Chains A and B, each alone.
Chain A
Amino acid sequence: MRVWLGWLALVFVLSVGFAQQRTLTVSGFGLNQNLIDKNITRPFEARCNCKIVWEVGNNADRLAKLAARKDNPNVDVALLGDYFAQLAANQGLLERLDTSKLSNLNELYEFAKNPLGGNLAVAFTIYAISIAYRTDKITIPITSWRDLWRPELKGRIALPNITTTQGPPVVWLVNRAFGGTDTDVNPGFERLSALKANVVTYYNQSAQLAGLFAQEEVWAAPVGRFAWGNLLATGKPLAWARPSEGQAGVSNVAVLVKGSRNQELAYQFIDFIISREVQTAQANDLVDSPVNRNVRVAADKAAQLTYGLQQIASLRIVDPDYIVKVRDAWIQRWNREVAR
């Protein structure tokens, strides 16, 4: 009997001990999670003697969850696309960052230090959005966004759904390519609506694209550069288009959730993911393109990333405030005119 009690007590003590280990909850994208665990989660857990719990999903789902739990947040740090973070800020979900606690901040490119203003976010990566396509099926290279309307591509392309991060930037670029402006988006929507016959599906997760390419459902699709590693892994011959109208650019930022009870750890985490070591590792694994200027990668890797100030400067970055303003209207128009 006493032996039982002893074991019980031991188990109890141990479990209480474990329960008291600090936990940091991070909301993230989930793409390449195994690489993220290798480069970020495990090294950080070792360093801080804490545990990271991830909540993964696409931007829209996670933002909805943050909003739903506004009064009782269960997430400490969120990694979001820039305009999604702006949406979160507008809803009062974020805590202003104390930049003195981020020792690596000065190593970042200027635009990454305070991308939304008010020190609400820090960018940890930036990526280009362009068209990935099969070079064996599409022998004439794609050199313009208008090429998606080629008749040979009937039933062979996928577009990002309007609720994904790539959605609005693609609409914006297409609109510009057909002569529209920031205030007149009719050209863009009309052309996208006319594209229906070419579209197989509107993907909600860029990871779905790898499957669509692998299964021969799709020959071309606009996508973010962060998915390039995944797409190459399908083994299909692919190329990254350099359209004359330009490639869009979106940065992913880290934000501190208001009401987080783990601010110490949160700051350490954000500082960690913008550090040179982590940014280099992520770049080498083709997970995220670096925004830390001290990162050096080999030329062949750099060619697969959005690397270096020159490339970054060439991107057409849509103002997050603009997207926040037009998003609801665009979602309505999209559902009504395009995704039917």
Chain B
Amino acid sequence: MRESRFPIVMLGMALLFLVGPFVVVFISAFSGDRTLAFPPSSFSLQWFAKVLTVEAFQASFVTSMWLGVLSTLLALLMGIPVAYALARYQVPGAEVIRVILTSPLILPALVVGLALLRYFVLIGNNSISFGLLIGHTALLLPYAVRVVSASLANLSRDIEDAAHSLGANRLQTFFRVVLPNIRGGVAAAGVLAFITSFNQVPVSLFLTGPGVSTLPIQMLLYMEYTYDPTIAALSTLLILFSILFVLLTERLLGISKYV
């Protein structure tokens, strides 16, 4: 029977639709024109140079970086034990726990940001940075639990039982047997979490203040003020950064099977 061409055509169109605009951004980033016009009439690296000079981007890049690293670390520190507990123990009410821990994903991020601003920062009198950290960590926690759970599921219990029978206690077993074997899953979770935090917009939208702002928010603000390909250059850099980051960790730790 003849195979229909329909599916592959749809796939092609979908990919074009998804990736096409990125190509536009990529090309615009190298534009030699003064304002944004596509296709550009000439090419230059001027916008990349400009990106590096915008102070708002520098400051917010630093903020996004430490926020990403810190919230990822916190999410992993809290998430790995959870994944382990749920995988290895019979916990009563495991379903309820799962729901509570995944709630950050179900709640609209915008609402989370507003709630944290209103009650945590303004009424609770905490700093905006603290509020950002809470919001981001809460959002990353479910990812951490989910990915680490997946890799724990692939790790047979026998190895732990073997270590046990050789005299290792629970703690030793965890750090010297379990952790090294789920290293890939942890790394995958970390990468996913970091990138999610870095690109986060809705939670960070309300949680900005003088001197505290994340890079995507600054990009949004910048777009409202200036109409030139600077954002295209910045977007291109960020996309390359994300790709490189993922490829690097893939190379080093072989994480692709866990995503």
In the complex, which residues 105-127 of chain B have their Cβ closer than 8 Å to any Cβ of chain A? 117, 122, 125
User: Contacts of B125 on A, CB cut-off 8 Å?
Assistant: 72
Complex CA–CA separation, A233 to B209 (angstroms): 30
A42 CB, min distance to chain B CBs, angstroms: 11
User: Contacts of B36 on A, CB cut-off 8 Å?
Assistant: 211, 214-215
With A37-B55, A207-B225, A208-B224: A25-B35 Cβ-Cβ less than 8 Å: no
The answer to whether A56 has its CB under 8 Å from any CB of chain B is: yes
Chain B interface size, as a band, is 10 to 19
The answer to whether B93 has its CB under 8 Å from any CB of chain A is: no
User: Contacts of A53 on B, CB cut-off 8 Å?
Assistant: 210-211
The answer to whether B209 touches A235, judged by C-beta atoms less than 8 angstroms apart, is no
A138 CB, min distance to chain B CBs, angstroms: 21
The answer to whether A262 has its CB under 8 Å from any CB of chain B is: no
The answer to whether A141 has its CB under 8 Å from any CB of chain B is: no
The answer to whether A74 has its CB under 8 Å from any CB of chain B is: yes
Q: Which of A55, A57, A69 contacts B122 (CB under 8 A)?
A: A69
Q: Which of A74, A205, A207, A210 contacts B209 (CB under 8 A)?
A: A74
In the complex, which residues 32-80 of chain A have their Cβ closer than 8 Å to any Cβ of chain B? 33, 37, 53-57, 65, 68-69, 72, 74-75
The answer to whether A260 has its CB under 8 Å from any CB of chain B is: no
The answer to whether A92 has its CB under 8 Å from any CB of chain B is: no
With A37-B55, A211-B36, A214-B36: A205-B224 Cβ-Cβ less than 8 Å: yes
Contact code string A218-237 (vs B, CB < 8 Å = 1, else 0): 00000000000000011100
Complex CA–CA separation, A195 to B193 (angstroms): 48
User: Contacts of B211 on A, CB cut-off 8 Å?
Assistant: 25, 53, 55
Complex CA–CA separation, A55 to B60 (angstroms): 13
Q: Which of B37, B122, B210, B224 contacts A54 (CB under 8 A)?
A: B210
User: Contacts of B117 on A, CB cut-off 8 Å?
Assistant: 68
Residue ID in chain A nearest B128 by CB atoms: A74
The answer to whether A235 touches B34, judged by C-beta atoms less than 8 angstroms apart, is yes
How many residue-residue contacts, CB under 8 A, span A and B?
50
Complex CA–CA separation, A25 to B211 (angstroms): 9
- Interface residue tally for chain A (C-beta within 8 Å): 28
B117 CB, min distance to chain A CBs, angstroms: 8
The answer to whether B210 touches A204, judged by C-beta atoms less than 8 angstroms apart, is no
Complex CA–CA separation, A27 to B210 (angstroms): 8
B58 CB, min distance to chain A CBs, angstroms: 13
Residue ID in chain A nearest B118 by CB atoms: A68
A70 CB, min distance to chain B CBs, angstroms: 9
The answer to whether B225 touches A31, judged by C-beta atoms less than 8 angstroms apart, is yes
The answer to whether B130 has its CB under 8 Å from any CB of chain A is: no
Residue ID in chain B nearest A41 by CB atoms: B55
The answer to whether A179 has its CB under 8 Å from any CB of chain B is: no
The answer to whether A30 has its CB under 8 Å from any CB of chain B is: yes
Residue ID in chain A nearest B218 by CB atoms: A56
Residue ID in chain A nearest B125 by CB atoms: A72
What are 24 residue pairs bridging A and B, where the CB atoms are less than 8 Å apart in the complex? A27-B210, A30-B221, A30-B225, A33-B56, A37-B55, A53-B211, A54-B210, A65-B209, A68-B122, A69-B122, A72-B122, A74-B209, A75-B210, A205-B224, A205-B225, A207-B226, A207-B227, A210-B226, A211-B227, A214-B36, A214-B37, A215-B36, A233-B35, A235-B35
Interfacial residues, chain B to chain A (CB-CB below 8 A): 34-37, 55-56, 117, 122, 125, 209-211, 221, 224-227
Given contacts A30-B225, A207-B225, A207-B227, 20 further A-B contacts (CB under 8 A): A25-B210, A27-B210, A37-B55, A53-B210, A53-B211, A55-B210, A56-B221, A72-B122, A74-B210, A75-B210, A207-B224, A207-B226, A211-B36, A214-B36, A214-B227, A233-B34, A234-B35, A234-B227, A235-B34, A235-B35
Q: Which 3 interchain pairs have the tightest Cβ spacing? A: A211-B227, A55-B210, A207-B225
